[in-house]
Amino acid sequence: MRADYVIVGAGSAGCAMAYRLSEAGKSVIVIEHGGTDAGPLIQMPAALSYPMNMSLYDWGYSTLPEPHLNGRRLVTPRGKVIGGSSSINGMVYVRGHAGDYDHWAESGAQGWSYADVLPYFKRMETWHESGQGGDPDWRGKTGPLHISRGPRDNPLHAAFVEAGRQAGYPVTSDYNGEQQEGFGPMEMTVHKGRRWSAANAYLKPALKRENCTLVRGLACKVVTDEGRATGVEIERNGRKEVIHASGEVILAASSLNSPKLLMLSGIGPAAHLAQHGIDVVADRPGVGQNLQDHLELYLQMASKQPITLYKYWNLFGKALIGAQWLFTKTGLGASNQFESAAFIRSKAGVQYPDIQYHFLPIAVRYDGKVAAEGHGFQAHVGPMRSGSRGEVTLASADPKAAPNILFNYMSTEQDWIDFRQCIRLTREIFDQDAFAPFVKHEIQPGAALQTDDELDGFIREHVESAYHPCGTCRMGALEDPMSVVDSDCRVIGVDNLRVADSSIFPRITNGNLNGPSIMTGEKASDHILGRSLPAANDQPWFNPNWERSQR
């Protein structure tokens, strides 16, 4: 088996690259360990808590005991299925803030500023505006990835945005357009009532071309010869075989599996590789380092009125929603229920938002456990730019073994300051007049917890990953010893090998990472093909009073 390009991982970035490279006439083989994404549990947006918790679709990774969170092991779902994590995620679509990408460029990722990436966001999108505002000039109209908004029928969605306005924050009609900062509608990768994963958007159309093939198997290592990548060793049906690349090997296996594969292939910190008896091909100390994530809390309120989604939280209600969705692809089953959102700044002197909100008209956890109080609603809140950094390392030289994952969450004093601020600002929003008809009392953390110490105790026990791991194969300047790939996504020190997925992010972007991961695949494809879209001139909005005021 041989192709011009061998891509490891049929996830957000891998699917986009398979589509663009095959579109350009190149032969492509995509290697994916996971199976089919067919079936309602993946395709029905409202069923999102199921695939994320199923070993059929998820690698099943968890962290080592996190030292600053009472030794808790946090689950770290990654998609092991066609579409990768875009097939098991919450379908929230966020591009990230302009300031994030400008920071990338300033930190050594030349050609990845906001002006450089915006044309790729536009190329990949078809934006369905749905009469809720926003400027179409900032959005794409003809891309494979369909972006839509929920109906926002529940009065709690309007109450959340109005409460934000009453608290003095801006309102934005499109956080993915000119102005991210503020309260407004949330966007999702849902099209005609179905999850619009990278598999549906990119891979399935690509596989209809004769020059694009999907191979099911576990990638074990990149095969190299005298410092250049020549193929990928996979295991399938109990046998090892090599898929050969005439052009390049491209890793898009996730921020957890891409560094693992590099290290198994002899590319990584030399001393660490030696511990596992792996011959060093390239000593890159940055491989597996710089691991980042977003953490979040749910602030839950009991509802005075029985208007929340709790009324469907029973066998009959779920069956009704499921049946309506199966036959018509409409109704509550056609939304992820995250229909209102906000991005705000935590204090004066912060240039652009560093706190994100997802609002949900039910009090429920990611694992599907609903609040004992019955009717309630919640805001997911967390800081965007934690200073904590962790690492992905090998537990063993066996490709079947899970890597060691340690995020080192909450390891800086600023993390604690930021999270306390998140809780206090959220309480203030729920205290506005807009919520007076709805708020009965605070379920979690509970009004009794007020002091820094009390809030810290709650944070330590209840903070959860937002499942946005990234940064472990950092893109940066050639002379920076911690860079793993250059600005063209080429692995430094090995020819014909690239990494293009969320692992190359120098720093985590604002919000959910599926959008930026797909953009990375889109842009990397152009780097591989030796072309690029012209930079954009659009000027994003920064709060003119950011130095003096928090809102």
pLDDT, tens digit, 9 for 90 and up, residues 146-172: 999 999 999 999 999 999 999 999 999
Measured in whole angstroms, the distance separating CA 1 from the mean position of its chain's CA atoms is: 32
Predicted local confidence at residue 49, as pLDDT: 86
Q: How far is residue 269's CA from residue 263's CA, in Å, rounded to a whole number?
A: 8
Burial class (CB in 10 A: 0-12, 13-18, 19+), 139: buried
Q: Residue 537 has which token pair?
A: 């001139």
Report the C-alpha gap between 202 and 187 in whole angstroms.
Answer: 19
Q: How confident is the model at residue 132 (pLDDT cuts 50, 70, 90)?
A: confident
Q: H helices of 329-435, where?
A: 413-430
Cα of 303 vs its chain's centroid, Å? 30
The arithmetic mean of pLDDT across residues 525-537, rounded, is 98
CA–CA dist 4, 246 (Å, integer): 5
Three-state DSSP class for residue 417? helix
CA distance 182 to 422: 15
Over residues 235-286, the pLDDT tens digits come to: 999 999 999 999 999 999 999 999 999 999 999 999 999 999 999 999 999 9
Is pLDDT at 406 greater than 90 in this prediction? yes
Q: For 293-314, give the DSSP string.
A: --EEEEEEEEESSS-SGGGG-S
What SS3 class is residue 161?
helix
Average pLDDT, the chain: 97
Residue among 269, 186, 256 nearest 471 (CA): 256
Residue type, 394: L
| Alpha-carbon span 257 to 292, nearest angstrom | 15
Q: What is the 3-state secondary structure (H, E, C) of 466-517?
A: CCCCECCCCECCCCCCCCCECCCCEECCCECEEECCHHHCCCCCCCCCHHHH
Residue 213 clears pLDDT 90, i.e. is over it: yes
- Cα distances (Å, whole numbers) of residue 7 to 27, 213, 334, 445, 532: 11, 10, 32, 45, 20
Q: Name the 3-class secondary structure at 143.
A: coil
pLDDT the model gives residue 255: 98
Mean per-residue pLDDT, 185-189: 98
d(CA 490, CA 413): 36
Look at residue 53 in the predicted model and tell me its pLDDT: 87
373: pLDDT confidence band, cut at 50, 70 and 90? confident
- Strand-pairing partners, residue 47, are none
Active site residue 358: no
- In this prediction, residues 34-58 reach a mean pLDDT of 93
Helix or strand or coil: residue 462?
Answer: helix
Q: How far apart are CA 335 and CA 191, in angstroms?
A: 10
Q: Which two tokens stand for residue 481?
A: 């010893």
Spot the catalytic one: 276, 358, 468, 527: 468
Instruction: Please tell me the distance from the alpha carbon of residue 409 to that of residue 389, in angstroms, as a whole number.
Output: 7
pTM for this model (two decimals): 0.98
91-120: per-residue pLDDT in tens? 999 999 999 999 999 999 999 999 999 999
Q: Which domains does the chain have, with CATH numbers?
A: 1-64+72-146+187-286+471-535 (3.50.50.60), 151-185+295-383+410-462 (3.30.410.40)
Q: Is the pLDDT of residue 90 over 80?
A: yes
Contact of 475 with 117, CB cutoff 8 Å: no
In this prediction, residues 295-309 reach a mean pLDDT of 96
Radius of gyration of the chain (CA): 22
CA 495 to chain CA centroid, Å, is: 29
Reduced to 3 states, what is the DSSP secondary structure of residue 364? strand
Determine if the peptide bond prior to 481 is cis (ω within 30°): no
- Burial code (b: 16+ CB inside 10 Å, e: under 16) for 434-467 equals bbeebbeebbbbeeebeeeeebeebbbeebbbbb
Confidence of residue 368 (pLDDT cuts 50, 70, 90): confident
d(C-alpha 190, C-alpha 192), whole Å: 7
Q: Hey, CA dihedral for 395, 401, 407, 409, is it positive or negative? A: negative
pLDDT tops 80 at residue 445: yes
Residue 211's pLDDT band, with cuts at 50, 70 and 90, is very high
More reliable by pLDDT, 107 or 132: 107
pLDDT of residue 370: 80
CA atoms within 13 A on the CB side of 7: 31
Supply the pLDDT for residue 42: 96
Q: What tokens does 186 get? A: 């949330």
Rounded to whole angstroms, the Cα distance separating 142 from 147 reads 11
Rounded Cα–Cα distance for residues 411 and 63 (Å): 15
